[in-house]
Structure 1
Amino acid sequence: MVQRHNNQLPKNLPQLQNLIKRDPPSYHEEFMQQLKHFHNTIEVFKLSPHQNNKTLDDLVMFMAQVSQCYPKELENFPQILIDLLQSHNTVLDNNMRMTLCRALILLRNKNLLEPTDLLELFFKLLRCQDKALRSFLENHIITDIKNINRKHKNAKLNSTLQNFMFTMLKDTNVRAAKMSVDIMIQLYKKNIWNDAKTVNVIATGCFSKVMKVMVASLKFFLGKDPDEKDSDASDSDNEIDPKEVMMANKVNKKTRKREKQLNKVKKIASKNYKKKSEAPAFNFSAIHLLHDPQGMAEKLFRQNEATNRRFEVKLLTLDVISRLIGLHDLFLFNFYPYIQRFMQPHQREVTRILQFAAQASHELVPPDVIEPVLKTLANNFITERNSSDVIAIGLNAVKEICARCPLAMGEDLIQDLAQYKTYRDRSVMMAARSLIQLFRTLRPDLLHKKDRGRPTEAGEELEQLDYGKTIAKEFVPGAEVLLEEKNTHVEINSDLESASDDEEWIDIQHSDNEGNDSGDEESDESGSEEEHEGEDKEVTVKEKKKSKEEKKAERAKNKAELVKMKKEQAQKVSLERILTDEDFKQIEMAKLRKQVTTAKKGVKRKLEESLVGTPSEIVKLSDIENIYKKRKHDKQTRIESIKKGQVDREKFGYKDGRVNEHCSKTNREKRKNKNFQMIKHKVQRKVKRSFKDKQIALRNHLLKLKKMK
């Protein structure tokens, strides 16, 4: 019986594999027999490598499975498979090539093969015209590199592979170049290769002649803004409330479909809860890690001008250029006249082009360069001949540009745009008011006096903006609010209030002629009285002007003293104590109060006006497309409107035709309100009539017809 069992082992490789793993020394002879068979099969296979060999397929997987049991005997086994793939990679059968790759991965997982040899081979195999194999190899490369760098980063191996990928990007094979870019992007997103070298290697792909490689590299630098949400996803009507579904499941009939939907909703709710509870991850974006952003922006701009590529690809390139200019404060003056050509309301994707113009604006760009962009926006968008949506988008774009480069706006232009605050359409009116609010906090001197609003404490502390001026603080601004002793602060405030409120005219009383003896004397002295009155008026005006100038100078002096006192107090707090998170929160709240508190009497303005903060690095497309429309009513508002429409409406349903509604009803009417179980015995059911009943009915019908005649 044992002899028969042993005779079947050479043909039953899975059973032999199982026995070898349990007891390798006992089955060494059987293994050597299979190894010899393997070498003979390899020699035969090399004669026709394009054909699929099922025997070799089974032997390769068998050797890979038991390789850890006989390391000396299988020392050259990995190199045999590597040589076979390198010499016949393009002519091998798809199934045979996949089997050899699986065997090498199995050997790599058992640490019988160095990662560099295997990964370089797999990168070369990406040239093969086998989509399934390329996808399989891509997943393995990413997983293998991730496992290598799990405990600590292997700098030597990473550097070798990055250099190899750099050469693969320039490969003539489109598939290999595209796959290498995708692998590097995935490794960066998984925080495995998130260093500057990887980013700069991917940056070279932006100038590739292969369109797919260039587009993938450009999209990598654009990334995706986490704050930006789709309109469908953010719509409250489309969101599923788990409480409503659970309540409906309790009330409604329990079916398998409803139970499945309830489980799905519970999973979605728990997933959303986990997302909200997760701590935010703060990482530098790839665009910050570039070595030469100025050179890259110039090269991309020249490439965009010289080539006639699709409009979508040009938009991607312009987006990357604008982000480079805005994030690194670059100078690329030719970019602004180029993008002005596309600023037309009928232009396709015009809102994105306006977004690029705003992203490319920063404080170091000379105002003369950006001023033509604002004028183009005003002439093409903010005119009466356009629709209200176009005007609102133009005003939003002007606001985003001026938030980053406020010196580009002229006094005449801002005053013209401010007149749209009384426009008949709400979207234009709100966009204009938002622009006015921006300049109230940045440059209120450009606005009309009526548009500046009440002077706030924050406005009193504003410093004049100059081109290239840097304001270096020696203290934490606003830290004076942390001091408990505010007596000096209160006294100076009271002095400033009294000086600003007490604006009375100084009237100098002049004695009139008391002699009114006769009308003749008055007529004679009328000329001299007019001369005296003229002199008195001139003196009064001079005194008024003098008093106003003195009070103005006194207010300015008090203001300077107040600002100086606040700086000293803030510097004292910054030097003498370590500020905590609570202190910074208190400082921020005080800054917000300053923006809504008037400088005179402390009267607060309504908080509907949005407080303008520092602009973000990336311009959101929703900020430019932010058109104020009437928002959708929520459920409670709709219910209230329905109830409001039901007031003074006739009751829907059966109308009682009785003259006296208090009189009794018939039994037939009462039967409608009774339970069916009470009246079911009285309901006349449809019964099959007998022959006699049919005869009687026919007779009655004929008699009725005879009477009618």
Structure 2
Amino acid sequence: MIIEIHFVFIFITGLKMANRQSNQLPLNLPQLQNLVKRDPESYKQEFLQQKDHFDAVYDAFVTYYDQRNDKYNEEIDKLMTFLAQVAHCYTEELTGFPQKLMDALEKHAWEMHADNRMSICRTLILLRNKNLLEPMDLLPLFFKLFQCPDKRLRKCLQQNIIADIKNMNIKRRNNKLNTYLQNFMFQMVNNSHAKTAKISLNIMVELYHKNVWNDAKCVNVIAEACLSKIPSVMITAVKFFLTSNVAEKEDGSDSEDDIPNPKEMMMANRVNKKTRKREKNLDKLKTLVKKKKKKQKTENFQFSALHLIYDPQGFAEKLFKQMSTLHDQFEGKLLTLELISRLIGVHELILLNFYPYLSRFLRPHQREVTKILQCVAQAAHQLVPPENLESVVEVIVNNFVTERNSADVMAVGINAIREICLRCPLSMNRDMLQDLSSYKSYREKSVMMAARSLIHLFRDANPELLQKRDKGKPTIAAVEKKAKGFGELDAVELIPGAEALVGNDGEEAEDDDGVDSDSSGEWINLSDSENEANGSDEEVDDEEEEDEDDDDNDEEEDGDDSGNEDAESEENKNEKAKEKKNPKKKSKKEPEEEGLDPQARRLKALELIQTQILTDEDFKRMEKLQMQKQVVGAKKGSAKKRKASEAIDHVSKQIDELVDLGAIENIHKRKRHDREARLEAVKKGQEGREKFGKKKGRMNPHASTTNKEKRKSKAFMMLKPKLKRKGKSSVQERQRSFKHWLEKTRKRMLKLK
């Protein structure tokens, strides 16, 4: 009986709590929202009650704003949030709810309170995320709201538009919707309102970087924005093309498997014909392999956005016309100059008025002059008439490479000339090059290194312009290479290095465990090609040898390296002296190998390439032969000594679309460190070192204590008389000590006499 009464009491209490909870639901919207999502049908009546309440509050809300009342209404914010959260449960009942919110924004967005305006926008975004609104219905309103003077609202809408378009293209690209959205967005870029156009451009740039809209249509609309009359829009579009470089690592041919193995070359060199230069050439090949690996690890920058422009010539001309007519800030002009130069270099455009315009700014005192020099180098290519670039080079020489300027200015000028000549060697004449090469022995290291880098460039590009002593030791690759004239194309019928596929006996070279079965293994015989390259120039004049030796001695004294690579033992020096005295003995020890002549070997290689499919091993073999040609001398008996780093400088130099600003500003000088850098260097040097100063404690922990240590443990009253005596001595004590000092001094003087 007692148990039944207890259950009845619990049931009655539960009914009272349920009634109390139902009475509080209209006031507790978060709890009602949770219950509606769990069971929509059971709480439909409460939902309709809240919807009717929202309609009444909305009418009052709109009426207040018709009277230009901009007070914050917290009640309508709560009701909007509740209806948006449960809108997917009652889609039929909330058919006109989104349209009411959009009408309120279109009519009263500028008079509305900022918090109410933000709440309505977030409600519409929530409805869009639940697919209760189409993007085409919402985007025009959001772009219209960009004109509101509310930075927080503009940032929120911009992030939402980007995220919404990205989410629509995650699973698959909706081309129909993207086309419609792009057309609408392109109209907004041309909007007369600066904020709307700027934000629209930012949205397209962000979508391009996220690989959502990375097609040519989007890129060309951003290119049109570069010609906008609104400065902020123009600068944003120009910066997009200057910073949209995508770093991609190439696969396949750049893998480590395609790089020649140094161990294989060492093994082949060990079983090769015994020659005096065998070890030296092997060291050079090792250095070449290291350079190739280092080059492959670097990133190759490709300006994909610049390659997608429909009419680069017309675009560059419009940019140049706009820049030369408008009086804008210097930063904007500099960005436009850099974009024009990249367009000219990437697409090899002809814009002859661009170079005289740049010449006006080529002064050492000009602000950001290194970037202007970078623009000149980027705008240089093979199709530019040499006389146009030659005039620019003369301006740089006259204004920078003079001894009245500092060494850094001279080095920057020579480095800029080197970058220009790297892309267009015809822009340099003989007299100017010989004048610049005379700075190779300049007292300042930065100028000296810049001049030598220019000499090394022309040793590969066009050695005929250099003086006899600056040409260096000619290699087989340098002899085979010919300087191209203006507009001349380099058409070849044979792949470079294809002679490696044919052995000396005329048969195809075979592979066995990755090592060639040629007469010299990986080390291919180049004696025939050397003889062919020499012709009548096989004998070297004594005067040339002396000049080259003298020049080399100067380089060894002034250069950074200590010349350890060229150091040889006393035995090798004695052997060289004997070989110079008796050159006939050398020819007896090293007879020429018998085999096909170079012309027959070339024809055999051409036939082999046309009839067979080449493998990866064949390409590796051809690459090794080309590397050997770059280090093996074309003239026998040359006394020129060159370091391995100098021999392969031009090999690692590649022509890129982007000119590195550090290549122009590289002045080979230790920069001054600020206080923070010096302190960091000091702390780094103190790592792992014992602390400076007197060591605490004794070396032998078991030794007895000193009197000073014993004094610390004594009572103060025991030490007080002694401290008092020590601090205050009487007059008599001072006299006795002075007399004692005089006596000691007198005895010392007597001993000295």
Q: Following TM superposition, by how much is the alpha carbon of 1:412 offset from its aligned partner in structure 2, in angstroms?
A: 1.4
Distance 2:179 2:242 in 1: 25
Could you list the per-position Cα deviations for residues 525-544 of structure 1 after superposition, in whole angstroms to 9, with x for gaps in the alignment? xxxxxxxxxxxxxxxxxxxx
Q: Following TM superposition, by how much is the alpha carbon of 1:206 offset from its aligned partner in structure 2, in angstroms?
A: 0.9
Alignment of 1:334-413 (within 5 A): 334-413=353-432
Q: Which residue of 2 aligns with 1:606?
A: 643
Q: Which residue of 1 aligns with 2:82?
A: 62
Q: Following TM superposition, by how much is the alpha carbon of 1:14 offset from its aligned partner in structure 2, in angstroms?
A: 0.7
Runs of at least 5 residues in structure 1 that lack an aligned partner in the other structure: 228-276, 506-560, 644-651, 655-669
Distance 1:700 1:187 in 2: 87
- 1:679 is paired with a residue whose SS is coil
Contact conserved, 2:142 with 2:157, CA < 8 A, in 1? yes
User: Number of residue pairs matched?
Assistant: 578
Could you list the per-position Cα deviations for residues 660-704 of structure 1 after superposition, in whole angstroms to 9, with x for gaps in the alignment? xxxxxxxxxx995443996399622276655x9979998999995
Runs of at least 5 residues in structure 2 that lack an aligned partner in the other structure: 1-15, 248-295, 508-524, 542-596, 687-691, 736-753
Q: Which residue of 2 aligns with 1:175?
A: 195
Q: Which residue of 1 aligns with 2:664?
A: 624
Could you list the per-position Cα deviations for residues 349-376 of structure 1 after superposition, in whole angstroms to 9, with x for gaps in the alignment? 1111111111111111111111101111
Q: Following TM superposition, by how much is the alpha carbon of 1:491 offset from its aligned partner in structure 2, in angstroms?
A: 7.1
Q: Which of 557, 569, 573 in structure 1 is aligned with 2:605?
A: 569
Contact conserved, 1:595 with 1:611, CA < 8 A, in 2? no
Distance 1:301 1:167 in 2: 25
Contact conserved, 2:501 with 2:605, CA < 8 A, in 1? no
Q: Which residue of 2 aligns with 1:234?
A: none
Q: Which residue of 1 aligns with 2:255?
A: none
Residue 17 (str. 1) matches residue 33 (str. 2): yes
CA, structure 1 residues 43+701, in 2 after alignment: closer, same or farther (shift >3 Å)?
closer
Choose 459-468 or 210-219, whichever is displaced more. 459-468
Q: Following TM superposition, by how much is the alpha carbon of 1:492 offset from its aligned partner in structure 2, in angstroms?
A: 3.3
Q: Which residue of 1 aligns with 2:592?
A: none
CA, structure 1 residues 673+585, in 2 after alignment: closer, same or farther (shift >3 Å)?
same
Q: Which of 679, 683, 693 in structure 1 is aligned with 2:705?
A: 679
Choose 607-616 or 488-497, whichever is displaced more. 488-497
- The normalised TM-score by structure 2 is 0.70
Distance 1:288 1:101 in 2: 39
Distance 1:565 1:409 in 2: 37
Q: Which of 128, 146, 159 in structure 1 is aligned with 2:166?
A: 146
Contact conserved, 2:40 with 2:89, CA < 8 A, in 1? yes
Residue 124 (str. 1) matches residue 144 (str. 2): yes
CA, structure 1 residues 26+450, in 2 after alignment: closer, same or farther (shift >3 Å)?
same
Distance 2:733 2:477 in 1: 104
Could you list the per-position Cα deviations for residues 524-572 of structure 1 after superposition, in whole angstroms to 9, with x for gaps in the alignment? xxxxxxxxxxxxxxxxxxxxxxxxxxxxxxxxxxxxx736843751563
Contact conserved, 2:380 with 2:420, CA < 8 A, in 1? yes
CA, structure 1 residues 671+355, in 2 after alignment: closer, same or farther (shift >3 Å)?
closer
**2:645 partner amino acid:** E
**2:41 partner amino acid:** P
- 1:26 is paired with a residue whose SS is coil
- 1:192 is paired with a residue whose SS is coil
Distance 2:361 2:506 in 1: 59
Distance 1:173 1:329 in 2: 36
Residue 74 (str. 1) matches residue 94 (str. 2): yes
Q: Which residue of 1 aligns with 2:63?
A: 47
Q: Which residue of 1 aligns with 2:631?
A: 596
Distance 1:374 1:311 in 2: 24
Distance 1:683 1:214 in 2: 84
CA, structure 1 residues 53+15, in 2 after alignment: closer, same or farther (shift >3 Å)?
same
Distance 1:568 1:91 in 2: 87
Q: Following TM superposition, by how much is the alpha carbon of 1:68 offset from its aligned partner in structure 2, in angstroms?
A: 0.8
- 1:466 is paired with a residue whose SS is coil
Contact conserved, 2:246 with 2:304, CA < 8 A, in 1? no
Distance 1:695 1:438 in 2: 88
Distance 1:148 1:357 in 2: 44
**2:602 partner amino acid:** K
CA, structure 1 residues 585+141, in 2 after alignment: closer, same or farther (shift >3 Å)?
farther
**2:147 partner amino acid:** R
Alignment of 1:496-575 (within 5 A): 496=532, 562=598, 565-566=601-602, 569=605, 572-573=608-609, 575=611
Distance 2:388 2:705 in 1: 90
Q: Which residue of 2 aligns with 1:202?
A: 222
Alignment of 1:78-477 (within 5 A): 78-223=98-243, 284-477=303-496
**2:191 partner amino acid:** D
Distance 2:330 2:341 in 1: 16
Contact conserved, 2:506 with 2:604, CA < 8 A, in 1? no
Contact conserved, 1:597 with 1:605, CA < 8 A, in 2? no
CA, structure 1 residues 584+222, in 2 after alignment: closer, same or farther (shift >3 Å)?
farther
Distance 2:445 2:402 in 1: 16
Contact conserved, 1:480 with 1:573, CA < 8 A, in 2? no
Contact conserved, 2:480 with 2:533, CA < 8 A, in 1? no
Distance 2:727 2:477 in 1: 100
Q: Which residue of 1 aligns with 2:747?
A: none
Contact conserved, 1:671 with 1:679, CA < 8 A, in 2? no
Could you list the per-position Cα deviations for residues 611-644 of structure 1 after superposition, in whole angstroms to 9, with x for gaps in the alignment? 2444111111111111122599999xx99xx99x
CA, structure 1 residues 43+671, in 2 after alignment: closer, same or farther (shift >3 Å)?
closer
**2:159 partner amino acid:** N
Distance 2:601 2:413 in 1: 43
CA, structure 1 residues 472+702, in 2 after alignment: closer, same or farther (shift >3 Å)?
closer
Contact conserved, 2:530 with 2:635, CA < 8 A, in 1? no
Residue 492 (str. 1) matches residue 501 (str. 2): no
Contact conserved, 2:475 with 2:633, CA < 8 A, in 1? yes
Distance 2:451 2:698 in 1: 64
CA, structure 1 residues 418+192, in 2 after alignment: closer, same or farther (shift >3 Å)?
same
